[in-house]
Structure 1
Amino acid sequence: MAAPTIPDVKARFLEGKRGLVVGIANEHSIAWGCARAFRAFGAEVAVTYLNDRAKPHVQPLADRLEAPIFMPLDVQIPGQMEAVFERIGQEWGKLDFVVHSIAYSPKEALRGRVTDVEREGFLTTMDVSCWTFIRMAHLAEPLMTSGGSLFTMTYYGSQMVVKNYNIMGVAKAALESAVRYLAAELGPKGIRVHAISPGPLATRAASGIPEFDDLLDKAKEKAPVHSLVSIDDVGVATAFLAHDATRLITGETLYIDGGYHIMD
Structure 2
Amino acid sequence: MGTLLKNKNILIMGVRNKWSIAWGIAKAAHEEGANLIYTYLGEREKEGVESLVSSLGEAGIYKCDITSDEEIDKLFEDLKAKYGVIHGIVHAIAYAKGEDIQNGFVNTSRDGFALAMDISAYSLTAVSQRAKDIMTEGGSIVTLTYMGAEKVFPGYNIMGVAKATLEAGVRYLASDVGPAGIRVNAISAGPIKTLSAKGVKDFNSILDSADQKAPLRRRIDHEDLGGPAVFFLSNMSKGVTGEIMHVDCGFNIMGV
Instruction: Please state which band the TM-score falls in when normalised by the shorter chain.
Output: over 0.9
Unaligned runs of 5+ in 1: 1-9
Q: TM-score, normalised by structure 2?
A: 0.96
Deviation at residue 78 of structure 1 after TM alignment? 4.6
Between the aligned partners of 1:228 and 1:21, the Cα distance in structure 2 is 24
Q: Deviations over 1:65-110 (max 9, x none)?
A: 3343112222234522222211110011101011010100011211
Per the alignment, residue 27 of structure 2 pairs with: 36
8 Å CA contact retained: 2:25, 2:222: yes
**Larger deviation, residues 156-165 vs 238-247:** 238-247
Between the aligned partners of 1:93 and 1:102, the Cα distance in structure 2 is 24
Per the alignment, residue 25 of structure 1 pairs with: 16
Q: How many residues align?
A: 255
- Match of residue 82, structure 2, among 88, 91, 98: 91
Q: TM-score, normalised by structure 1?
A: 0.93
Per the alignment, residue 96 of structure 2 pairs with: 105
Q: Deviations over 1:178-235 (max 9, x none)?
A: 0000111111111110111110010001111111111110111111001111112111
Task: Classify 1:170/1:67 alpha carbon distance in 2 versus 1 (closer, same or farther; 3 Å).
Answer: farther
- Match of residue 150, structure 2, among 156, 159, 172: 159
State whether structure 2 residue 170 is matched by structure 1 residue 179: yes
Structural mapping, 1:126-165, within 5 Å: 126-165=117-156
Between the aligned partners of 1:17 and 1:251, the Cα distance in structure 2 is 21
Between the aligned partners of 1:48 and 1:208, the Cα distance in structure 2 is 23
Per the alignment, residue 64 of structure 1 pairs with: 55
Per the alignment, residue 179 of structure 2 pairs with: 188
Between the aligned partners of 1:202 and 1:245, the Cα distance in structure 2 is 29
Instruction: Extract structure 1 runs of 4+ deviating beyond 4 A.
Output: none
Between the aligned partners of 2:66 and 2:202, the Cα distance in structure 1 is 28
Structural mapping, 1:233-244, within 5 Å: 233-244=224-235
Deviation at residue 167 of structure 1 after TM alignment? 0.8
- Match of residue 46, structure 2, among 46, 55, 79: 55
Question: What is the aligned-residue identity percentage?
Answer: 38
Q: Deviations over 1:50-79 (max 9, x none)?
A: 222222221122212334311222223452
> Which amino acid in 1 is paired with 2:221?
S
> Which amino acid in 2 is paired with 1:17?
K
